[in-house]
Structure formats: structure tokens, C-alpha cells
Amino acid sequence: MSTKQITTTTIFNYVPNYIGYLRVITAVISFQLMKSHPLYCTLVYCISCLLDALDGHAARYYNQTSRFGAVLDMVTDRCTTSSLICFLCVLYPDYALVFQLLVSLDLASHYMHMYATLQTGGKSHKNIDKESSYLLNLYYTNRYVLFTMCAFNEVFYVALYLYYFPLYNVSIFGEYYSIAGILAAICFPFYLFKQSTNVIQLVRAAVLLAELDIEDLQNKKD
């Protein structure tokens, strides 16, 4: 295919982008089921999250990477998780402030990180050298670490969601415990790691942008 034949429709029809569209559709369906059908909601929500692991493979396999696809992927991630957290505010109103702060941290850190990357000439928000941040470099460049941390982060929120509904309990030494509660406890350390990367990402982006401001001021003086 020659360059002249490539149009916006070509990009929109990329296989990984179709996976992205399917992620959006399944996420919206899960939102619709969230109030009254927790098990079906969880199943569809998890399908949406698992598709996130496929679009990257499809992009590499078909050689169909695109800026649109990268942004679609990130925006879908942020919107899906934020929507679930919003519903957690409804289920657990006493912890609404905590959930609001978590949403704010997630959105702010990713937006500032993406903006700082573009302003400094980077092509991808995942290209981070070890000298800049070893933890972020490990998080973004190691696919297994990235998938695992994102998976545990989502499962933690899903477990909190399921914990509200009296679905299944398990007996341990004669005491009954919520399976969702146990799952949340298992995921919590990994969840904290994910939130730590958000904080580091936010601080790093703020420093990069401030350094650019310094350069601009110095250039004006010169």
C-alpha cells in the first residue's frame, strides 16, 4: 500500500484499534450492569480489561502501531477504571473522598506524564530511561510487570465492588470470610505499588515541565 492511499479511515480500521473499540463497548455494557448484576458486570468488565493485553500484541503482529491507537488505549484505561471508582463512591459513600483523590491522582499523573513526554520530544510515554526513574522504567518497559501491576490494580477495585454484594463466602478454620475481601487483601500490596508509580510519575512530569520552563526563561534572557 502506498503512502498516498493511507487515509484516516485506514488508521481507524487497524486491527488493534478494533480491539480498542470492543474494549469501549464491553466497558459501557459493564457500567450498565454494575448496579444490579454484579457477576455479569464483573465478567464483562474483566473481558474489557483483558482485551487491553491483546491490542498491543496485535499492533506489533500486524505492524499497525498508531498515535490514535496509543491514545485510545490510555483514554480507555483511565475512563474504565475511573467509572468503576465512581460507582465505588456510591457503594461506599463514607470513603468517597479517598476514591475521589485516587481518581484525581490517576488522571493527573497520566495526563502530566503524557504532556511532559510530548513536550520533551518523546514519542511514547512508555519510553523512560533508568536514570530518570528506575521504577517507572521497570513498570513501562517490562511487559510482564506492566500487565501484572495493572491486572492487580483492576482486580483490587473489582474485589471492592464485589465485596459490597453478599455473594460467596469461604470457611477458614470455622470462620466465614468474603472471597472478594480475601482477593482484595491479596491484591493490596500490588495495588500500592501501582499507586506509588502514579505518584512518582506525577512528580517526574512536574520536574520535567519545570525544567522546560527554566530553559524558556534562560533563552529569553539570552
Catalytic residues: 77
- E-state strands within the chain: 169-172, 175-178
Alpha-carbon gap, residue 163 to 153, rounded angstroms: 16
> How far is CA 139 from each of CA 17, 33, 149, 201, 203, rounded to the nearest angstrom?
23, 32, 8, 11, 16
Tell me which residue of 83, 88, 108 sits closest to 99, measured CA to CA: 88
First to last CA, the chain: 48
Among 34, 70, 31, CA closest to 52: 70
Cross-strand bridge partners of residue 167: none
Q: Residue 186, class by beta-carbon neighbours within 10 Å (0-12 exposed, 13-18 middle, 19+ buried)?
A: middle
Nearest residue to 100 via CA among 83, 86, 79: 86
